[in-house]
Structure 1
């Protein structure tokens, strides 16, 4: 994805400086990125099996990366027929308020995904605007083992740190083994 962003940037906006780099949400946000950006846009794992912890982990990292007037967009499950989606949506909004944001706009049930395990699941876009810069976090810590346990679903923990693109002589053509997976090494909680 990082390389795609860089390639798109070179092709679509050659006069604009677009950067991207590998980062894993389970790791602390590097200090140089604290408050460095205008906004964030995330589409995290749904959080159905971890009470929304995977959603709030991405929200927290995005919040840490934005400045005092930061904006954020969270794409999140929103299906009134599935109570867990409403609980995760509520808890995400609560966490955003704790981080100094208000919900400035919500586009309910905007997207429909074609997932094998939830073919009719809908999601919304929730737009947040920071109004309390005094609530900005100043420290970023590694996610706890508990938060990683069901990160991608029930008994489906975060196991890969990075998906890396293998170099190719022809970047415009897909190779059979174009990606390698780098495992995430768990460190006991302190």
Structure 2
């Protein structure tokens, strides 16, 4: 199938990247006889651009114009063989793409997930783990389908205490209930061996296409995981450093293509934090394709009101990780609160201290306010010191 896509790319300058060509082809496969205007609407392309892609795919032998647009027999065969669409439950597929009750048709999957989630390891709050609900995990998998990033793709989870990999695998089993689909794969990268072992056991029990890798994101991403994947999921620590680090590792894992989706779950934050967050996304060459407030629900996560938002980001020609080597900054919420960190301005080399006792309590505040010496907004950590624990006040302290 890549030959069809590559042929189309050779003759049309397309800023949206390869994924939109693939999406247009799948729309023709799933909706034979579709009009060019409807193709443009579904792919969010201007009609002339959609028409130009259609013409190139016709020249490549993938499509034909016949009472609308449809795939040729060769196009159908290669989509089913190489992308794994053969045996797909089309009725369920179309139902899941509609903006109706998204759980309709997935009751059995949700029942399995509730059982699986009830037995998962406890959350380790020291590394900012929290327990999302089974419905949230499955909803993320359905969102992946809606973003044309599921069937036939190589997916990676940058951390997966939310068991998104399991939800994706079970969703695939439901959509290909006759079996035989073996193209989609999901890799899980996580530091927590407890979750890796549990996910691996669940994958074995339910025959899910999941592979687990123990990875410490503070260390450079192993070379064998670079440039392999079509999309990634992450629900990082809710610190600016945590978000940037996890996104950096995910960008390294993605194929070097524009338009690839990134599924980022993150807490609802203040305008100041959000400004710093968006600046980092731009710095890493990521665009915001969609944002869904209150998308994620969690158990016993009162600090974030048991809810977080979902961002769908897209890669560009300028996408690059902010952190490529070893990470030495504070990462988790508790760690950020109990450290004093000295940053060096990359523009003027001025030193600025950041911590709860300083003028700048967080790195996002420093980046928003900019360097007090030159007004620049990029910094490098040069020193990190653990703050002494607060001395608890006892009744004896007030006695003479």
Give TM class, smaller chain: 0.5 to 0.7
Match of 1:94 among 279, 282, 285: 279
- Alignment partner, residue 37 of structure 1: 229
**Residues 1:115 and 2:301 aligned together:** yes
Which structure is larger by alpha-carbon Rg, 1 or 2?
2
CA displacement at 1:58 relative to structure 2: 0.8
TM-score normalized by the length of structure 2: 0.32
The answer as to 2:199 corresponding to 1:9 is no
Question: Residue 71 of structure 1 corresponds to which residue in structure 2?
Answer: 261
Asked if residue 155 in structure 1 is aligned to residue 338 in structure 2, the reply is yes
Q: Which residue of 2 aligns with 1:172?
A: none
> What is the CA-CA distance between 1:32 and the residue it aligns to?
1.3
Quickly say closer, same or farther: Cα 1:77–1:137, change in 2 above 3 A: closer
Normalising by structure 1, we get a TM-score of: 0.64
CA separation of 1:135 and 1:120: change in aligned 2, threshold 3 A: closer
In structure 2, list runs of 5 or more residues that go unmatched: 1-194, 340-381, 384-400
Q: Distance in 1 between matches of 2:321 and 2:305?
A: 36
State whether residues 77 and 89 of structure 1, in contact with CA within 8 Å, keep that contact through their aligned partners in structure 2. no
Q: Structure 1 regions of 5+ residues with no counterpart?
A: 157-187
Relative contact order (alpha carbons < 8 A, sep ≥ 6): 1 or 2 greater?
1
Q: Judge conservation of contact 2:251–2:319 (CA < 8 Å) in 1.
A: no
Q: Which has the higher helix share?
A: 2
Choose from 138, 143, 152 the match for 2:327: 143
Distance, in Å, in 1 between the alignment partners of 2:229 and 2:264 is: 16
**Contact 1:2-1:20 at 8 Å conserved across structures:** yes
Partner in structure 2 of residue 60 of structure 1: 248
